[in-house]
Structure 1
Amino acid sequence: MPEEPFRNLFRPGARRRVQKVALLSAAVVTAASAATAGALLNQPSTPADTGSTTAASLIPPAAAPNPDTDTSASPSSGPQATSEKPQPAEPKAPAEKTLDVSFEYQPNFYYCGPAAVRNALSARGIDVSQDELARGLRTTVNGTDSAEDTTRVLNDVVGSDRYRTSVIPGEDATPAQMDRLQADVVRAISSGYSVVANIVGGETDADGTWHDFPGGHYIALVGYSDDGRMVKVSDSSGMFGPASYWMSTINMANWIGTRGYSA
């Protein structure tokens, strides 16, 4: 009995049943294969195409690289260069520069602060009266208090925070303070801004003239030479020779000692 079903397969008429079974099995296998294909069965139908469509034909062919326009076509082209351009270096300050100043003397012994600020501003083409500046500086018969006042008024008039106050607290400037003054003078004047310094005591200028202000004084520095080792002074006092003279930056730093400057 175990072998009987197999014998029946070879009886007459049995082949037709086998063929039918085979055809049904093939149909089931075809449907199962289509079911496992997944998403394509659920997609909306497209217009009939008499030709066969393969998965590869659904993907558009890649365009051939153009060696004239596509830098990625060459395997040796390397990484793409960035679009940022290198920033140009700041221009080096000239070795010497003198500003064009419309000079005025101070009208009295305590207006040196307003006069120095006025002369410094004239290098920017700004014309403000000494009386108006004296009100802003809070100048009295005792003079103008400090470089903090000249810095404040200079910034108010030029409309920016361009000026900063630097103080040399000791009677003798240190080498670092001398270097700082030299750098500040070059930076300011090369950009078209005069420096205002509050000095006290006496110092010698480049011509050997002694300038002495034991109670203090304000001057404008309107030029430099030798990369800032020498500074040009605009002095509104009318004392000790001409209104304009040169002095070494070392002597100027010592002259500012215990006071400060606006640059």
Structure 2
Amino acid sequence: MRRLRTVVVAALAASALITAPAVALAQGENAVDVTSMAPPAKVEGVKAAAELNIQYQIQETGYWCGPAATRIAISAKNGNPPSQQQLANELPTTTNGTDWIGQVTRVLNNHVAGGWYETKEMPNDPPTQAQRDLLWRDIVLDVDKGYAIVANIVAPANNHPPGYPNYTIYHYFTIIGYNSDNMTVKIADPANFGGNQIYWLTFNQLATLIPPKGYSA
């Protein structure tokens, strides 16, 4: 069991599946450059790749990405996870979404034995090399031990996962696998944008999506 360490910070914008055309980046702007980023530090003594078995569900409302992503993560360890409605009540989630990743951490630890989850903030945009190293290490070690990770992301129009509409998306999704040979991560995305439910992202792109939010790992 890891010691639970939560860093409390001032709330940023409500973090759920919220569309914000007013803050979308212009279509003509250049995409985020991830080619120059150094690879994260290698994690020794783990498999080259691993994936978790989970129960996938599409989020039941436009603002329940937090409860849905949390349920997916719980299902990796608990074969009878709570409903999205119950988790929305516990987080709590409102029509404005789920405010902070720390709420997800608390609920995960209520439903997954061992108090494993911690809140990890990534306030720097772009993230520092130390933050990238920690994110990769958390993904590899968590997935190897059977724990899925919930990430709170901000995806502007020039840096989207597959199928996302062309404006800034505030969202939660679940990380359920990794492949260190090609530095990719497997995502279970409750939004189902364009029918994209479970897909692979490069680690570099994931690392640009989380700031200035955080993740539960």
- TM-score > 0.5, shorter chain as reference: yes
Residue 119 (str. 1) matches residue 72 (str. 2): yes
Residue 92 (structure 1) shift: 2.2
Is the 2:163–2:193 Cα contact (8 Å) retained in structure 1? Answer: no
Is the 1:181–1:249 Cα contact (8 Å) retained in structure 2? Answer: no
Residue 251 (structure 1) shift: 1.1
SS in 1 for 2:154: strand
* Structure 1 counterpart of 2:111, from 131, 139, 157: 157
- Show the counterpart of 2:54: 101
CA distance in structure 1 between the partners assigned to 2:137 and 2:181 by the alignment = 9
- Show the counterpart of 1:180: 134
Residue 134 (str. 1) matches residue 88 (str. 2): yes
CA distance in structure 1 between the partners assigned to 2:168 and 2:216 by the alignment = 21
What does 1:53-132 align with in structure 2 at a 5 Å threshold?
92-124=45-77, 125-132=79-86
Which has the higher relative contact order, 1 or 2, with Cα contacts under 8 A spaced 6 or more apart? Answer: 2
What are the Cα deviations for residues 112-143 of structure 1, in whole angstroms up to 9, with x where unaligned? 00000001111112421011111110100000
More displaced 10-residue stretch of structure 1: 114-123 or 235-244: 235-244
CA distance in structure 2 between the partners assigned to 1:237 and 1:229 by the alignment = 24
- Show the counterpart of 1:168: 122
Query: Bigger radius of gyration, 1 or 2?
Result: 1
CA distance in structure 2 between the partners assigned to 1:179 and 1:228 by the alignment = 16
CA distance in structure 2 between the partners assigned to 1:228 and 1:192 by the alignment = 21
Residue 183 (structure 1) shift: 0.3
Is the 1:178–1:249 Cα contact (8 Å) retained in structure 2? Answer: no
CA distance in structure 2 between the partners assigned to 1:168 and 1:122 by the alignment = 25
Residue 229 (structure 1) shift: 2.3
Residue 230 (structure 1) shift: 1.2
CA distance in structure 2 between the partners assigned to 1:137 and 1:228 by the alignment = 35
CA distance in structure 2 between the partners assigned to 1:145 and 1:94 by the alignment = 35
CA distance in structure 1 between the partners assigned to 2:184 and 2:70 by the alignment = 21
What are the Cα deviations for residues 224-261 of structure 1, in whole angstroms up to 9, with x where unaligned? 11168211000011114420111111211110011000
* Structure 2 counterpart of 1:222, from 176, 186, 191: 176
- Report the count of equivalent residues: 170
* Structure 1 counterpart of 2:146, from 192, 196, 208: 192
Residue 215 (structure 1) shift: 4.4
SS in 2 for 1:219: strand
Q: TM-score of the superposition, structure 2-length normalised?
A: 0.73
Provide the aligned C-alpha RMSD in A.
Answer: 1.8
SS in 2 for 1:121: helix
CA distance in structure 1 between the partners assigned to 2:182 and 2:91 by the alignment = 28
The residue type paired with residue 155 of structure 1 is N
**Which structure's residues are more often helix, by fraction?**
1
Is the 1:222–1:232 Cα contact (8 Å) retained in structure 2? Answer: yes
Is the 2:163–2:195 Cα contact (8 Å) retained in structure 1? Answer: no
Q: Runs ≥4 in structure 1, deviation > 3 angstroms?
A: 209-213
Is the 1:231–1:249 Cα contact (8 Å) retained in structure 2? Answer: yes
SS in 2 for 1:173: coil
Residue identity (%): 38
